[in-house]
Structure 1
Amino acid sequence: MIFMKKLLVVSLLLVSLILMGFSTHTSAAEKSTDIEIPVVNYHVISHNPDPNNLYQYSVEEFEEQMVYLKENGYRSLTLRQYFRILDGKAAMPAKPILITFDDSTSDFYPNAFPILDKYDLKATQFTVSDWVNDSWSMTAEEITTVMKNGIDIQNHTATHPSLDHLSYDQQYDEINDATAALNSLTGKRINVFAYPYGAYNADTLSVLENLGFKGAFTIEGGISTDKDNRYELPRFMILNGDTLDDFVRKLSTGH
């Protein structure tokens, strides 16, 4: 009889431990599905930003933000890592961030890239293909150099139009021509897009789908999640006048 009571007690303890473990596992699994990734967007990084140009940001303030990311344990993602997390194919690190730039302007190589490299931060540069080698843009050599050192190169159209003002065929040509040119330049698959001026319409989405794009980014603010439409992925911009406090706030709220 005593043996049976002891056996019952041991059995109950084992059941309790199993249930506790299951509960902990379930809780962890639930947390792992809360995918939230801030996606930050920059344009021009300048030593002498024009105070009247929202898209120009100072080198010093940019570096201050990159130092903040590094010192606070953020992990910068490649596009491949970003989409694998969204698609449930990879675990999300504790503090992920996707750093993006638009236009591939000439300042990126001498000003932004050395800072990213210094702090071992990955980034994506959305490139206007017809601007490559122009005086205000990166050269082909610079693009291939940064691409070999942690910078993804992706599509920002051929000529940077406001796509919502174009016909379906015109939009198709803008995006497809840039894809072909950038693929030829980089030797990489070009299948991620950023809307110039953040402008798009139903035709744009249809073009991207028909061309097999994996995703596209807006500039409407917000934090990226796995629930987002892949062709309406949110980014928040860092603009002239934004302080480090603004940057930190946007990392958590997207606004």
Structure 2
Amino acid sequence: MGSVCKSWRSFIQSKELITVRKLAGVLEEWLYVLTMDAKGKESHWEVLDCLGHKHRRLPLMPGPVKAGFGVVVLNGKLLVMAGFSVIDGPGSASPDVYQYDSCLNSWSKLAKMNVARYEFACAEVNGKVYAVGGYGVDGDGLSCVENGCVMVTAHAMLGERLFCMEWKNQRKLAIFTPEDNSWKMVPVPLTGSSCIGFRFGILDGKLLLFSLQQEPGYPTLLYDPNASPGSEWRTSDIKPSGLCLCSVTIKA
């Protein structure tokens, strides 16, 4: 019985399970949101379903509390990488990597990164995770790749297009289409201070804009790039329980 359980556990943790579910057409889409409580002291991960209903709250991630970490999805699992931690005394960059497996509802520690870093860029490309730039153990900037882009406060890939929010003007959405190498600026349908920021989320092929202000006047906005002209924007009931610090979409 022990060997059967071990084999089954190994299978549900493998990327082959994702492949089988994809071929069977039974993949489900979930939005994982790292959210801050109302007092701004504690954070936790929560999972929303395709309708925005809260599905569950993840168990606490092991290890010290960190900031400036990277988040990616690999083989249907959530990876939280590196970051800046303060345990006792001065803080330091961390090389630790933790993985959350939804099938087991548990975290596990993976092999450490080659270089400890924080405030860096990261992405999954063709089954590999790339980490670029950031700051190292001594606080020195690490070599990175730059592309002459303006500073942004939020970005997300939706299909083949890149969506960005510039820090100077958060009332316009910048959309880059690689097919014709063009940028398009789309006004965000909100009034008030342009300093009110957003965090992005992706669900069901649509872009979600979570306001960093919890006042009722700043609801979650939804942008549908495939909607007919003039009807791309609408409000959404999808909203985390607190301020959205970051989010990823997982299909599993």
Give TM-score scaled by structure 2 length. Answer: 0.26
Which is greater in Rg? 1
* Relative contact order higher in (CA < 8 Å, ≥ 6 apart): 1
Higher helix share: 1
Higher strand share: 2
Give TM-score scaled by structure 1 length. Answer: 0.25
